[in-house]
């Protein structure tokens, strides 16, 4: 897929602020600092569409990015296209497991995120991010089981693969695959490793 346009469409903390046009949504979830916003930028071939930060807890609202795609290579320049692009949303969620957030604030976020996930039939895929260097946490496992229970299409990504020696990547991916019982795709927002593969997986749910 080739991204021909991307922009922030909505920043929401309540359902009445969610987009109402019914476009397909691809949602990125995972613990704070795992690289959700960075991955959105990598997928959109943009440097700072979604704001990122070295300290956890950067994203605090539900952010909807409208992405227009066409068939073709992800990084390619827009050409003389005949077919119109297809629109979809990338949805960036606040991360969990951020220690500095108070219990009541973290419960409020949990309710906000659950309120979004449970009432969006247009969600096509939930892309769950795990750090390639670490075992899944109890919270990661809880979320994964919850997503499976509600029958979402889930893609699991192992982020920050550039932090490992290339020879170490398969071992870490296999560990995560064993823990979750599903395929895991290594990804790096730095080197863009995994970007084409993730677009290929998602394109099954993108009609154009
Ligand atoms: P919250 O918004 O707090 O939930 O975090 P997030 O999951 O959106 O993480 P974010 O994309 O802001 O990235 C957190 C930090 O990890 C930033 O310093 C990024 O530069 C860094 N980072 C993200 N992805 C990668 C990656 O693939 N490789 C490397 N080396 N660093 C990464
Ligand atoms: Mg973020």
Q: Is 130 helix (H, G, I), strand (E, B) or coil?
A: strand
Q: Where are the beta strands (DSSP E) in 31-164?
A: 62-70, 86-92, 123-131, 154-159
Taking the centre of ligand 2 as the mean of its atom positions, its distance from the CA of residue 41, in whole angstroms, is: 10
Looking at ligand 1, which residue's alpha carbon is closest to its atom 29?
A: 160
The CA–CA distances, whole Å, from 165 to 160, 162, 171, 172, 175 equal 11, 7, 11, 11, 16
Which CATH superfamily hosts domain 2-207? P-loop containing nucleotide triphosphate hydrolases (3.40.50.300)
Taking the centre of ligand 1 as the mean of its atom positions, its distance from the CA of residue 188, in whole angstroms, is: 10
Looking at ligand 1, which residue's alpha carbon is closest to its atom 12?
A: 52
What tokens appear for 25 in the block?
Answer: 């949504």
Taking the centre of ligand 1 as the mean of its atom positions, its distance from the CA of residue 51, in whole angstroms, is: 10
Q: Which ligand is nearest to the CA of 164?
A: 1
In the predicted model, what is the mean pLDDT of residues 131-159?
96
Predicted confidence (pLDDT) at residue 76 exceeds the cutoff of 70: no
pLDDT in tens, 25-52: 999 999 999 999 999 999 999 999 999 9
> What residue segments make up the domains of the chain, in order of their start?
2-207
pLDDT in tens, 54-71: 887 778 899 999 999 998
């Amino acid at each position: 897929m080739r991204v021909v346009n991307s922009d922030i469409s909505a920043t929401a903390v309540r359902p009445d602020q969610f987009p109402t046009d019914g476009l397909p949504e691809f949602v990125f979830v995972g613990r704070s600092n795992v690289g959700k916003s960075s991955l959105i930028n990598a997928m959109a071939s943009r440097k700072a569409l979604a704001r990122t930060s070295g300290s956890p807890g950067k994203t605090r609202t539900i952010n909807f990015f409208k992405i227009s795609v066409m068939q073709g290579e992800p990084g390619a320049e827009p050409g003389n296209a005949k077919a119109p692009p297809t629109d979809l949303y990338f949805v960036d969620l606040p991360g969990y497991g951020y220690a500095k957030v108070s219990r009541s604030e973290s419960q409020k976020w949990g309710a906000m995120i659950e309120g979004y996930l449970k009432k969006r039939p247009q969600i096509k895929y939930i892309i769950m991010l795990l750090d390639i260097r670490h075992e899944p946490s109890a919270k990661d496992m809880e979320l994964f089981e919850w997503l499976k229970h509600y029958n979402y299409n889930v893609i699991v990504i192992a982020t920050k693969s550039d932090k490992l020696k290339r020879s170490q990547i398969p071992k870490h991916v296999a560990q995560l695959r064993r823990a979750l019982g599903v395929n895991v795709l290594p990804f790096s927002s730095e080197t863009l490793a995994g970007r084409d593969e993730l677009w290929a997986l998602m394109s099954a749910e993108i009609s154009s």
